[in-house]
Structure 1
Amino acid sequence: MPHLEQFVPPVPAASAALDGVLARMRDLDAALPQGDGVAVFNRVYLAVTEEVDRRVDAGRFTDPVAAVTLDVRFAERYLAAVDAAALDRRPPACWRPLFQLRRHPGVRPLQFALSGINAHIGHDLALAVVDACRSLGCEPADLEDEFDRVGDLLGALEERIREELMPGPDLLQIADPLTHLLGAWSLERAREATWSAARALWALRGLPDVAEEFTDRLDAAVGFAGRMLLTPLPAWGR
């Protein structure tokens, strides 16, 4: 990894930081009502982060410090949004639909989960790559393997939660409005766009005004997609 004069946290320190964000998510899981939209996403994200932790412990990452640093910076973005909402401050635009509609009776659990994934992947992950590069003194290209491995975990989990949270038999799902609504969003496309955004933000780091405008527009665009994902739907099959 280049720029070795930069501070790189040792593995124990990085692991302690990961333990800290895991503890926060577990506290949220225990505190939030099960049907709360933020709780639905939190359970999904907690499962991903626990799997990252297990894979780090098993030596599955080539560079565990880079993997943990990226994961922690990523999680901190979500937890900062949670804290902002709890203090009646405005979270980033990408997260506002989920916090605003978290108790809406017409929004289904799968919508909550994917809206949170949309916000976290589409906006937070790009900024987390930049945060991690600054912490580690590296370039985005040095984190591409870790980015892909975390993305692969999310992809596998997305398939699982679609199966678990999609209501009704397969034949009914074809006609369910939820099928059509969520079919318009793709995790793979979101990951590709996020990697491009991360590289662009890194290239713009010497132009803070331009980087801020780019970030604001990214935030707004991801927030718009999240609001569409949370369109209230009629109860199906009743």
Structure 2
Amino acid sequence: MAHCEQLPATVRTVDTVLARMRALDATLPARDGVAVFNRVYLTVTETVDRHIDGGRFPDARAAIALDVRFAERYLAAVDTVERGHRPPACWRPLFQFRRHPGVRPTQFALAGINAHIGHDLALAVVDTCRTLGCDPLELEDEFDRVGEVLVSLEERIRDELMPGPDLLQIADPLTHLLGSWSLERARDATWSAARALWALRRLPELAGEFTERLDAAVGFAGRMLLTPLPD
């Protein structure tokens, strides 16, 4: 498989986005829904960074570009809210419900992952292709390896943030709510969305409409994931 061109110096490094996420972790209240997602995403980014340093990506430069472009989408949403503006629709439920006492930490974590994977990752693939002058198919290995990290983290999130099987009854609404969403399905849909957006890059009106509807659909799923539940 052909690989992308050299990463331009203007692209921010993984260390830069990690520093921003660590700063957020240090300042946000622990129970804040954005803080819950931020801790999860910080762990994901640190893991991807270690894998890049360990040579586990076939094209390290492409992996860095994708990782940074991906993180910038989330950080831009945070910046937008801090400036008093509305973030993309996919992120609005998390920011709106971030302090709701009826929403559990697992819900916050997965709603953030839903927004970031379902919407941001597709746009980050297109951003990276434009930055590096390559086609999405040339990023498929990097996309798949980042996805593997996310799937392993999702399993850990469910283990760490959900009660054990002895405590979580089958009748608990959380069991049914979270069972309706799958990271693997979301990742597969995102890859198709990224390829479609790339194919539409010379049709800006259609690309804009596609992006807007993707954003809205992911936001709707996020709102469902954040349904307040009884204790």
Report the TM-score when normalising by structure 1: 0.93
Structure 2 distance, partners of 1:120, 1:100, is 16
Sort the Cα spacing of 1:99 and 1:3 in 2 relative to 1 into closer, same or farther, 3 A: closer
Residue 137, structure 1, aligned to residue 137, structure 2: no
Pairs within 5 Å for 1:1-238: 1=2, 8-9=6-7, 13=9, 17-170=13-166, 172-235=168-231
Q: Give the residue type in structure 2 aligned to 1:184.
A: S
Tell me the SS of whatever aligns to 2:217.
helix
Tell me the SS of whatever aligns to 2:168.
helix
Structure 2 distance, partners of 1:40, 1:26, is 12
Structure 2 distance, partners of 1:58, 1:173, is 41
CA contact (8 A) 1:15 1:68 kept: no
CA-to-partner distance for each residue in 1:98-149, whole Å, 9 max, x for gaps? Answer: 0000000000000000000000000000000000000110000000000000
Sort the Cα spacing of 1:131 and 1:15 in 2 relative to 1 into closer, same or farther, 3 A: closer
Q: Give the residue type in structure 1 aligned to 2:117.
A: I
Structure 2 distance, partners of 1:177, 1:31, is 32
CA contact (8 A) 1:118 1:222 kept: yes
- Residue 170 of structure 1 deviates from its aligned partner by 3.5
CA contact (8 A) 2:3 2:59 kept: no
Q: Give the residue type in structure 2 aligned to 1:29.
A: D
- Residue 233 of structure 1 deviates from its aligned partner by 0.1
| Percent identity over paired residues | 77
Tell me the SS of whatever aligns to 1:105.
coil
Report the TM-score when normalising by structure 2: 0.96
Structure 2 distance, partners of 1:3, 1:151, is 19
- Unmatched segments (≥5 aa) in structure 2: none
| Residues paired across the two proteins, number | 230
